[in-house]
Amino acid sequence: MHEWALAEAVVVTAIKTAKEHSFREVTDIEIQLGQLQQIDKDVFAFAVEKALKSQRLLFKETKVHFHDEEAVFQCRNCGREWTFEDNKKKLSTTESEAIHFVPEVAHAYMGCPDCQSTDFEILKGRGVSVSSITGERDD
* Shortest reach from residue 4's CB to Zn ion, in Å: 37
Binding string to Zn ion for residues 23 to 62, with x set by CB under 5 A, is what?
----------------------------------------
Residue with smaller CB distance to another protein, 83 or 129: 129
Q: Footprint of Zn ion on residues 76-105 (CB under 5 A)?
A: 77-78, 80
Sheet architecture: strand order including 63-69: 63-69, 23-34, 128-137
Residue with smaller CB distance to Zn ion, 51 or 75: 75
* Shortest reach from residue 131's CB to another protein, in Å: 7
* Shortest reach from residue 114's CB to Zn ion, in Å: 5
DSSP state of 91: S
Which conformational region is residue 75 in: left (phi greater than 0), alpha (psi within -120 to 50 degrees), or beta?
beta
* Shortest reach from residue 14's CB to another protein, in Å: 8
Q: Cα–Cα distance between 111 and 103 in angstroms, integer?
A: 14
Q: Cα–Cα distance between 53 and 125 in angstroms, integer?
A: 28
Could you say whether residue 129 binds Zn ion (CB under 5 A)? no
Q: Helices in 39-137 by DSSP H: which ranges?
A: 41-52, 84-88, 93-101, 106-109
Q: Which residues bind Zn ion (CB under 5 A)?
A: 75, 77-78, 80, 112, 114-115, 117
